[in-house]
Chains A and B, each alone.
Chain A
Amino acid sequence: MFASQFTFIVRRLWQMLPTMLGVVLLVFFLFNWVGGDPAYILAGKMANADSIANIRHQLGVDQPYYMQLWIFIKQILTFDFGLSWATGEPVSNIIATRLGPSLTVLIPLTVLETVIGIALALAVAFVRGSLTDRVVMIACTVGMSVSILVYIIVFQYGLAYKLGWFPVQGWGSGFWENLLRYSTLPIVIGLAVSIAPTLRLFRSFVLDEAGQDYVRTARAKGLGERRVMWVHVLRNAAIPIITYVMSNLPALLIGAFLLERFFGIPGIGREVILAVERSDFPVIKAITVYVAAATMLFNLLTDLMYQAVDPRVQLT
């Protein structure tokens, strides 16, 4: 059992290598080839040939492409991407210090979204096909159609600026202060935006299971609808739900960039936006490579969790 899991993990990690290499090549192609020579941006308005040559040498862009690629791979492996072009802060330091604020918002958001999504999906599946079901589904579609920007602008204006229930924006130094004071409104908005698509998706997962034979068997032996839904169906719908939640986590790290930007939360997503605005290539390169690696690792973790939820799943 343990041995098979171990060989599974080793094989999957081995299979990730070509993809990871591809990600590195793609990022390198984008930033070192398409992105062109950064020296002209960095040298500023007072540039002359000497200063540009100097900057090119410092950045290593005067070297041939294969050397630049080797430098990039070394940077990835040593977690040392040098300094940000815009602020001079070490890139590794940027990533390390911005991760905490992002997770302070994202972990409660994901947990609440999943729990509320499951509860609502089961409740809607309970009355499937009825008018309530149809109305809820159309309401979800309408809710999903309003731009996330509108949710943020209106909620921030109404709840924080007008009513003063929450701080308009800001970030403190204490964990509890950040979680309870500054993260509450971003989490509420995040829930308002994400609950409609989550509910739609979870409902379809639950309904896929609700038509199965074992559900009919459970009903036939006299179990109440409530027990059938919450115990039998939920246990089986857990696999797609786990896949969705887990594989979405790394993307969410970036996906919350609008919340972080509007509420002044110093997280990873906001850092990406700032880096795009300032053409701060080292920061974007580092974040892209590591988020891609995290995505692949989370996919592996998801497969391992399948087995914990459903022992029938064979790891191959």
Chain B
Amino acid sequence: MMAHASVGLWGLAWRRLRADRVAMASLAVVMAFLLMLVLSASGLIVADWEDEVGVNYAPPGFVGAGPVAAVVAPVAPLALPDNPFDPLADDIRALRTPVLDMYGVADPLADDLAALGASGVAAAGAGKRATLPFGADKWGHDIIKKTIKGGETSIVVGLVAAFIAVGLGTLFGALSGYCGGAVDDFFNWFYSIFTAIPSVLMILAVAAVLQQKGVVTIVLILGLTGWTGPYRLIRAEYIKHKAREYVLAADAIGASHWRRMFAHIFPNVSHVALVQMSILVVGFIKAEVILSFLGFGVPVGVVSWGSMLNEAQNELILGRWWQLTAAAIAMALLVTAFSLFTDALRDALDPKVK
């Protein structure tokens, strides 16, 4: 009967987490991000993020439209002194004056453009808003919606890649630690190869080889290169557990090796895998942002926090800081909460380690 079952590892860990206020606050933040992810992935919110609701680079509402208008204010036409001896001076002046645009460049198509503008192409921008709650990007997309959509990509990449990496690490570590002998030697050799190459270089090398860009590619790159950390810890756990009495008892009742490895031992070491996964998610979200920033990550047309930072880098020089700020804060908030929760989770699951 379950009524008298003692509180297990997970129950105890949950009690410790409940008592830790920082852990609960960070868990709430992480959950909020995950909820946002589920809602945006299912199309319930921000499905319309690609609507060009604002004018180009519309500033945030709390800044107002003022200071930015000044940035794109017309530049005064170049006032070159006239050459009094130039026989063509009058003609040049006549040519130059009417068609100078705001950059001081004579535009041969100025008349055509004016005609086009009058005919209503420019009027398409009329319904757009001059300011948005947190501004707009180059095309007039709402930054808040774009940040939520970008977070969807970054978080999904982090979660799936971490799941693959921990899955591989657990499988290899279980085989290596449980079987020992030649299997152990083989996987240790494999491990030494992957740790001899710094992970950044490994990721870039794989990115160079896999030509097509895409969310799946980046997930594979991170997932296939990140298994070494979980492998080392899971292997150590399996070596510790395989000689324990409960495993010998499982052997005695005729459980197969496979069953002993994954039905009997794994539940007892799964907390290690969980903490490793939590650590990797944080690392992979950061890595995805850098890869996408460099253009090795998500393809054009897919928005992630990395591609937002890439756009924002050039906008900052023009004084348009909102896209940078939005992506940076959203990412920092999630990663901080996730890291704090990971620390608390590790302490709660393994109280001996401080």
Contacts and interface: CB of A to CB of B under 8 A. Distances in A.
B192 A145 contact: no
Contacts of B22: 138
A34 to B, nearest CB: 5
B290 A148 contact: yes
B290 A258 contact: yes
Contact of A279 (B208, B316, B340, B343): B208
A304 interface: no
B200 A254 contact: yes
Contacts of A161: 317
B8 to A, nearest CB: 28
Nearest to A279: B208
Nearest to B337: A145
Kindly state the interface size class of chain A when it binds its partner: 35 or more
A201 B208 CA distance: 32
A284 interface: yes
Interface in B317-351: 317, 324, 328, 331-336, 339-340, 343
Interface stretch (B61-69, B94-102, B120-128, B293-301): B293-301
B225 to A, nearest CB: 11
A212 interface: no
A300 to B, nearest CB: 12
A207 B354 contact: yes
A275 interface: yes
B193, B195, B286, B290 — most chain A CB neighbours (10 Å): B193
29 contacts: A22-B190, A34-B209, A138-B340, A141-B340, A142-B332, A145-B331, A145-B334, A145-B335, A145-B336, A145-B339, A146-B328, A146-B331, A147-B332, A148-B290, A149-B309, A153-B316, A161-B317, A250-B198, A254-B198, A273-B204, A273-B294, A276-B204, A276-B205, A276-B207, A277-B295, A279-B208, A287-B201, A291-B198, A295-B197
Interface of A: 18-20, 22-23, 26-27, 30-31, 34-36, 138, 141-142, 144-150, 153-154, 157, 161, 207, 250-251, 254-255, 257-258, 261, 272-273, 275-277, 279, 281, 284, 287-288, 291-292, 295-296
Given A141-B339, A150-B328, 14 more contacts: A18-B189, A23-B193, A26-B193, A31-B209, A34-B209, A35-B209, A36-B211, A147-B289, A250-B198, A255-B198, A261-B294, A276-B296, A292-B196, A292-B197
Interface of B: 22, 189-190, 192-193, 195-202, 204-211, 286, 289-290, 293-296, 305-306, 309, 312-313, 316-317, 324, 328, 331-336, 339-340, 343, 354
